[in-house]
A and B are shown apart, each in its own frame.
Chain A
Amino acid sequence: MSELYRELTELLERALYVRDIKGEDWQEISAVVGFLQELREKVYELPGEELRKRFSLLKEKLVALETLAAETLSPYEIVKITRHPQRFTLQDILENVYDNYTELGGEGEINLDPAVVVARAMISRRVGDKIYMHQVMVIGHEKGHGEEFRRGGSAKPWGNEKALHYMKIAETEGIPIHFYIFTPGAYPIEDPPGAAQQIARNLYTMAKLKVPMISFISEGGSGGAEAIGLADLRLMASRGYYSVISPEGAAAIEAKLKSGRPPRELVEKCARNLRLTAEDNLRLGTIDRIVPEPPLGARRQDYGFFKRLRYEMIRATDEVVLQTKSLRTFRKYVLSRKNGTEEVPEDFGIYVNWELTEDEKEILLENRSRKYREMGRWAVCGKESTFKHYLEKSHDLGLKVFHGLRYGVFKQSHRALRRMFEELTQESSALLKPVSDPVKTVYNLLSGKKRRIPKVVSWIERPEGPEELYVSPLALEDRTVTCPNAETHGCPDLWVPDLYGEFCGVCPNCGYHFPLEYQWYLNNLFDRGSVREFNEGLSSGNPLNFEGYAEKLAKARKSTGKNSAMLTFEAKIGGISLIVAMLIADFRQGTVGVAEGEKFIRACDRARITRRPLLALIHTTGGIRIHEGTLGVIQMPRCTVAVREYVDSGGLYIVLYDNNSYAGPVASFLGCAPYQFALRSTRLGFAGPRVIRETTGEEVPPDYHSAENALRRGHIQGVWDRRELRLKLYEALLTMGGRNLYYR
């Protein structure tokens, strides 16, 4: 009888699980649950035979329902599977996938951050009758099965810092890292090292970490996931989700809710629109492979799944390692695998040593760079016509040769010269050398005796201010406005033509910065007439077919006359030419999607090739654009890789924040910059006050995200005044940055 009781309990749990996923009103699930409960209550009363009969019938019914449930799973139901307390967690993986592990940096509740677990672990494979043990570093989020202190796997800033610390240890020891992503998102607090800034630092480090990294996503909540997500191979659980935002969060934004819950139908719709399932992500190219789970998701007792996961993790690591070795062995190895759904073999048949030589490490990094640069690139729209594109490319090539010779050769830098020729030959083979212009330029430079020395502007000279001030359209009104600080600082009302004219939108009494349109910066920050936009044709598309997004985009295009929120251009400040990437508020609140990321990457590359300083001028950014889903999220690692390569090449990367800068971009390619400055009255951080309130349950002070507090926390290096912005930038260009700038 107790046997049956146990089976009944199990069955009831399964039924409850289905009810949790599909909802109470789905099919007869509630009835089945009711019958099972009744049956269990009466287990000692009913005659054995009837009991068995009814049990079999119910079981049959439940199995049928389970099958139906799995067949009709909606994206939002998958989200619910992923979040279910019965779902496997990292702790289960450590127990079942690895042979032996030691938790590092805390255990259970006694922990720097219980939401982030790090372990030194062994994973084994059988080849013939031999067992091989591999050492790996396991880093991931621990959701716990309902343990309050794990905060559902929301890493605090220092939790991500802990992750970074052990990544570096793995690098020192030369062992691969297995990342397990189980997070609804990072815990959105600004306390040092800062939610956004720490994620940015993690990405920046991972971009060039010299060990193989594999990540496995069960719950991939946007920026929080990326903090340990920039891996060489990205696996995903078939019933996991990976998304730019929770469906509830997206619904709140779509419904423009200030507080409260969005309606269920809208949440469902958003979950569909976000394309957050494993299949969707594989199709979008944001992950590499799906690890199959049981139809309704793997739970903690699904040992078959763990066996499969072990196999997939080892295989993935093998592939990453082999790709750095000879291509032939890699191909052979890949071919040996059938199709991803095959049974997990007991015998691996092959042993791969996971240690890399120095040269292999270089290849690993190159592979990684290529992987992220290519990821999701298909979604970039509005490429120029092939002819134009062709010309532009050859123009770039010319630039590369020109600048390489001009500033590289004369410095007798062999390394630079070698790199330059490498780049040259790669590009040339693609172009089949049809263009004679750049070659001529090179010829002239080499044979001509006139070696033009670039005019180095003495730091005593100051850049001349533009002769004629650009007049902001805001200034053309005879009225006055009140400074927001009038109450506390006693500021007089300001006459609008003065404020938006000579005062540069700054209250002369307290220094409050009123927001200004992005055109003001284009006209006042850079030398007159020096701004030359490039790649303006690249545009945001609607890669997810997100309902209503195409119309929103069209509207933004029409009102701004721009194709994306990111403007990239060449400009000069005091005669020093630089590359600028600017996010503008006017285009969908400066949110970042595929086109914005791609333009930023191309700006990084142009700056690197031409040896220009790179300025990221953030008029405003509202984060990653939710309508492009994970294709938006992957702009975080993509752009960080590109900017890291730029900085490593000896450039100068400066970020300047204005107005509002939040979320993804700050937590990646902006927050990783060695030099970050903010204009006074800027607000910057990870999440806005509403999200913080909803996540942490606490109110934050009104100045929580102020530039001054960001400076106090060490998130930025300085607070600048708009009136002297040009001068400050000019000084920064002269005094900061790497060795490889054209004017050094």
Chain B
Amino acid sequence: MAIDHLKINQLLQRLRSRPYRIYEVKTPHTGYLREFLVKEGTEVKGPRGKWREIPGTPLFTLEREKNLKTIKARVSGTIHNLRTELEGRFVEAEEVVLEIRHPLSQEEVISEFLRETLILITAPETARYLLAPEIEKRIRKEGLGKVFVKPNEEILIMSFMKRETPIVHTGETMVIFRIFFTPQEVVTAGEPLLGLCLQEEVPYLERVISRICEEWPEK
């Protein structure tokens, strides 16, 4: 496979013109929004550290059933549209409280590129998904880009309407190159779950990724 420089350039150009993404921060559940810990325009950080062991910047506190929780940023960026009027009030679940304008990182640009290049397994239904235990074990052991999935092998498990349905790989033998979903979280139908490629494509993909790394240096 030849490197489609044109396509990659177009992608990078598009990302450069709008190099950030807006993340809405919602209340995870009901409760009293006690206090905002950030202001409009505050720079916040997501979880950091080699093992993401340092939690993100505290955003606000939410108290429910005498349990005061600090809601922390999951991504880095700048605070916008802070709804200060909610402070001190009872809020419902999934209420948008603020937005984080998040500049795209190298990793995310790579992810964006892979979404457009890999063969994707998309979510057939809006449901929760899990890797098939066998696949998960192999990925944990060998890492992404090394685990093969054979035709008719169970690759994912869909947890849908209280039932667990296996999703079987239909194509030829391929390598799992990327995971796009978070286990146990609801994925909207049509969103990518996994990105696959042929084994011979792996070196090509790695070359392109290193190119992106050069063009989009980590800040």
Q: Is the CB of B66 within 8 A of A701?
A: no
- Is A461 on the interface with B (CB-CB < 8 A)? no
Interface residues of A in 478-534 (CB under 8 A from B): 478-482, 489-490, 493, 495
Find B66's partner among A479, A489, A699, A702 (CB 8 Å cutoff): A479
Q: Is the CB of B69 within 8 A of A699?
A: no
Instruction: Output the least CB separation between B32 and chain A (Å).
Output: 14
Q: Is the CB of A480 within 8 A of B66?
A: yes
Q: Once the chains are docked, how many angstroms separate the CA of A76 from the CA of B51?
A: 39
Q: What residues of A have a CB within 8 angstroms of the CB of B67 in the complex?
A: 479-482, 493
Q: Is the CB of A495 within 8 A of B51?
A: no
Q: How large is the interface on B (under 10, 10 to 19, 20 to 34, 35 or more residues)?
A: under 10
Instruction: Output the least CB separation between B103 and chain A (Å).
Output: 24
Q: Is the CB of A490 within 8 A of B65?
A: no
Interface residues of B in 38-76 (CB under 8 A from A): 50-51, 53, 64-67, 69
Q: What residues of A have a CB within 8 angstroms of the CB of B65 in the complex?
A: 479-480, 493, 495
Q: Is the CB of B69 within 8 A of A482?
A: yes
Q: Once the chains are docked, how many angstroms separate the CA of A238 from the CA of B69?
A: 58
Q: What residues of B have a CB within 8 angstroms of the CB of A482 in the complex?
A: 67, 69
Q: What residues of A have a CB within 8 angstroms of the CB of B66 in the complex?
A: 478-480
- Is B184 on the interface with A (CB-CB < 8 A)? yes
Interface string of B90-129 (1 = CB under 8 A from A): 0000000000000000000000000000000000000000
CB nearest neighbor in A for B47:
A487
Q: Once the chains are docked, how many angstroms separate the CA of A701 from the CA of B51?
A: 7
Instruction: Output the least CB separation between B69 and chain A (Å).
Output: 6
CB nearest neighbor in B for A492:
B29
Q: Is the CB of A493 within 8 A of B184?
A: no
CB nearest neighbor in B for A699:
B50
Q: Once the chains are docked, how many angstroms separate the CA of A701 from the CA of B49?
A: 10
Contact A702 to B64, CB < 8 A, known contacts A482-B69, A490-B184: no
Interface residues of A in 575-591 (CB under 8 A from B): none
Q: Is the CB of B53 within 8 A of A493?
A: no
Instruction: Output the least CB separation between A357 and chain B (Å).
Output: 55
Q: What residues of A have a CB within 8 angstroms of the CB of B184 in the complex?
A: 489-490
Q: Once the chains are docked, how many angstroms separate the CA of A699 from the CA of B69?
A: 28
Q: What residues of B have a CB within 8 angstroms of the CB of A481 in the complex?
A: 67
Q: Once the chains are docked, how many angstroms separate the CA of A480 from the CA of B51?
A: 28
Q: Is the CB of B51 within 8 A of A493?
A: no
Q: Is the CB of A493 within 8 A of B50?
A: no
Find B64's partner among A478, A489, A490, A493 (CB 8 Å cutoff): A493
Q: Once the chains are docked, how many angstroms separate the CA of A489 from the CA of B182?
A: 11
Q: Once the chains are docked, how many angstroms separate the CA of A638 from the CA of B69?
A: 48
Interface string of B177-209 (1 = CB under 8 A from A): 000000010000000000000000000000000
Q: What residues of B have a CB within 8 angstroms of the CB of A478 in the complex?
A: 66
Q: What residues of B have a CB within 8 angstroms of the CB of A490 in the complex?
A: 184
Contact A702 to B51, CB < 8 A, known contacts A480-B64, A490-B184, A493-B64: yes
Q: What residues of A have a CB within 8 angstroms of the CB of B53 in the complex?
A: 701-702
CB nearest neighbor in B for A704:
B51
CB nearest neighbor in A for B182:
A488
Q: Once the chains are docked, how many angstroms separate the CA of A479 from the CA of B51?
A: 31
Q: Once the chains are docked, how many angstroms separate the CA of A478 from the CA of B64?
A: 12
Q: What residues of B have a CB within 8 angstroms of the CB of A489 in the complex?
A: 184
Q: Once the chains are docked, how many angstroms separate the CA of A381 from the CA of B65?
A: 49
Instruction: Output the least CB separation between A699 and chain B (Å).
Output: 7
Interface residues of B in 128-179 (CB under 8 A from A): none
Interface residues of A in 695-731 (CB under 8 A from B): 699, 701-702
Q: Once the chains are docked, how many angstroms separate the CA of A489 from the CA of B66?
A: 22
Instruction: Output the least CB separation between B185 and chain A (Å).
Output: 8
Interface string of A462-481 (1 = CB under 8 A from B): 00000000000000001111
Q: Once the chains are docked, how many angstroms separate the CA of A400 from the CA of B27?
A: 66
Q: What residues of A have a CB within 8 angstroms of the CB of B64 in the complex?
A: 480, 493
Instruction: Output the least CB separation between A295 and chain B (Å).
Output: 50
Q: Once the chains are docked, how many angstroms separate the CA of A490 from the CA of B128?
A: 13
CB nearest neighbor in B for A489:
B184
Q: Once the chains are docked, how many angstroms separate the CA of A481 from the CA of B65?
A: 9
Q: Once the chains are docked, how many angstroms separate the CA of A480 from the CA of B29?
A: 14
Q: What residues of B have a CB within 8 angstroms of the CB of A699 in the complex?
A: 50
Q: What residues of B have a CB within 8 angstroms of the CB of A479 in the complex?
A: 65-67
CB nearest neighbor in A for B54:
A702
Q: What residues of B have a CB within 8 angstroms of the CB of A701 in the complex?
A: 50-51, 53
CB nearest neighbor in B for A479:
B66
Instruction: Output the least CB separation between B167 and chain A (Å).
Output: 21
Instruction: Output the least CB separation between A488 and chain B (Å).
Output: 9
Q: Once the chains are docked, how many angstroms separate the CA of A479 from the CA of B184?
A: 27
Interface string of A419-454 (1 = CB under 8 A from B): 000000000000000000000000000000000000
Q: What residues of A have a CB within 8 angstroms of the CB of B51 in the complex?
A: 701-702
Q: What residues of B have a CB within 8 angstroms of the CB of A480 in the complex?
A: 64-67
Which of B50, B53, B65: most chain A Cβ within 10 A?
A: B65
Q: Once the chains are docked, how many angstroms separate the CA of A490 from the CA of B50?
A: 23
Q: What residues of B have a CB within 8 angstroms of the CB of A493 in the complex?
A: 64-65, 67
Q: Once the chains are docked, how many angstroms separate the CA of A489 from the CA of B64?
A: 20
Instruction: Output the least CB separation between A507 and chain B (Å).
Output: 14
Instruction: Output the least CB separation between A667 and chain B (Å).
Output: 26
Which 4 A-B residue pairs are closest in the complex by CB-CB distance?
A479-B66, A480-B67, A480-B65, A702-B53
Which A residues are closer than 8 A to B by beta carbons?
478-482, 489-490, 493, 495, 699, 701-702
Extra contacts, 4 of them, besides A482-B67, A701-B53, A702-B51 (Cβ < 8 A), are A479-B65, A479-B66, A479-B67, A702-B53
Could you list some 23 contacts between A and B, CB below 8 A?
Answer: A478-B66, A479-B65, A479-B66, A479-B67, A480-B64, A480-B65, A480-B66, A480-B67, A481-B67, A482-B67, A482-B69, A489-B184, A490-B184, A493-B64, A493-B65, A493-B67, A495-B65, A699-B50, A701-B50, A701-B51, A701-B53, A702-B51, A702-B53
